[in-house]
């Protein structure tokens, strides 16, 4: 119980850290009233911008149709360089589809080794599960007033319970100073019921008392970019059928 916590990290060269960007899009209902041909063209331009970025970077797409009311599609993009994330979104903004979209939710973060666990990853992994559950996370200031050892101790219970659900995979990224939240937490699994049970069980842990904010919570349905686009208007993208 008294193992020493790793010291909070100092600026040392960590070449492998990545920027992670979650971009949630909502399509203007008016776009759905356009001709099918125009919508096809708009989606194709969007898909091409994605394919360009995906050549050399991790890019994942998710549909939120039917799970949320305030957004329709989410793109998770990753790069070692913030400039590259910026450029990708500049190109994306030129696609026909983005000319009818707003971005109701947006989270910028970086990967970073965890103070509490050796299992943390410095890269988001390629798609490997049906669902991704994402939420921005802020801890109470009381949490940060605890000793590092005490925080370490409290987190071990949290981590131990998580390990009892091996089908659920966790990616935590860090947003301190970069965005409104402190962390972006993303769980992957094929079984939402398992995940629901885990989250309910974690409510009774000591760590849970120090949660200040963990909403909005997004249930994201993993999809290829063409499939996520097809879910917007029910039409497959003709030109991109091969990629599905």
Pairing of strands 211-213, 19-27: unpaired
Task: Please list the helix, strand and coil fractions of the chain in percent, rounded to the nearest 5, in that order.
Answer: 35, 25, 35
Helices (H) and strands (E) in the chain, counts: 6, 9
Beta carbon of residue 220, minimum distance to a second copy (angstroms, whole number): 10
The reply on whether position 23 binds a second copy by CB under 8 A is: yes
Q: Which one of residues 38, 119, 145, 163 is an interface residue with a second copy (CB under 8 A)?
A: 145
Beta carbon of residue 156, minimum distance to a second copy (angstroms, whole number): 18
Beta carbon of residue 132, minimum distance to a second copy (angstroms, whole number): 11
The reply on whether position 244 binds a second copy by CB under 8 A is: no
Shorter beta-carbon distance to a second copy: residue 86 or 125: 86
The reply on whether position 9 binds a second copy by CB under 8 A is: yes
Write phi, then psi, for 22 (nearest 5 degrees).
Answer: -105, 115
Beta carbon of residue 59, minimum distance to a second copy (angstroms, whole number): 13
How far is C-alpha 190 from the chain's CA centre? Answer: 16
User: Distance between CA 155 and CA 115 in Å, rounded?
Assistant: 10
User: Distance between CA 140 and CA 244 in Å, rounded?
Assistant: 43
| Binding to a second copy in span 163-222, by CB under 8 A | 164-165, 167, 174-180, 182, 187, 191-201, 203-204, 208-209, 211, 215-217, 219, 221
Beta carbon of residue 33, minimum distance to a second copy (angstroms, whole number): 5
Task: Count Cα atoms within 13 angstroms, Cβ side, for 64.
Answer: 22
Shorter beta-carbon distance to a second copy: residue 60 or 105: 105
The stretches of the chain forming alpha helices (DSSP H) are 36-54, 82-93, 141-145, 148-163, 192-202, 225-233
Tell me, residue by residue from 82 to 121, as one string, x for binding to a second copy by CB under 8 A and - for no binding. Answer: xx-xxxxxxx-xx---xxxxxxxxx-x-x-x---------
Structure tokens at 185: 């937490």
| Binding to a second copy in span 25-84, by CB under 8 A | 28-30, 32-33, 63, 65-70, 82-83
């Amino acid at each position: 119980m008294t193992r020493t916590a790793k010291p909070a990290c100092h600026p040392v060269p960590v070449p492998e850290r990545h920027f992670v960007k979650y971009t949630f899009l909502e399509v203007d209902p008016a776009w759905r009233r356009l001709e099918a041909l125009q919508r096809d063209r708009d989606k194709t331009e969007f898909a091409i911008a994605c394919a360009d970025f995906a050549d050399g970077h991790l890019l994942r797409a998710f549909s939120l149709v039917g799970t949320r009311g305030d957004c329709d599609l989410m793109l998770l993009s990753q790069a070692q360089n913030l400039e590259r994330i910026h450029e990708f979104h500049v190109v994306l903004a030129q696609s026909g589809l983005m000319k009818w979209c707003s971005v109701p939710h947006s989270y910028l973060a970086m990967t970073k080794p965890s103070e509490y666990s050796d299992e943390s990853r410095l890269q988001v992994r390629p798609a490997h599960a049906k669902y991704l559950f994402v939420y921005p996370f802020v801890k109470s200031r009381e949490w940060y007033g605890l000793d590092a050892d005490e925080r370490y101790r409290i987190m071990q219970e949290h981590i131990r319970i998580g390990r009892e659900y091996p089908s659920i995979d966790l990616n935590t990224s860090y947003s301190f100073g970069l965005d409104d939240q402190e962390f972006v937490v993303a769980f992957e699994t094929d079984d939402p019921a398992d995940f629901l049970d885990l989250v309910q069980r974690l409510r009774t842990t000591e760590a849970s008392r120090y949660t200040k904010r963990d909403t909005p919570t997004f249930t994201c349905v993993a999809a290829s970019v063409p499939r996520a686009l097809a879910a917007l208007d029910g039409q497959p993208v003709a030109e991109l059928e091969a990629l599905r």
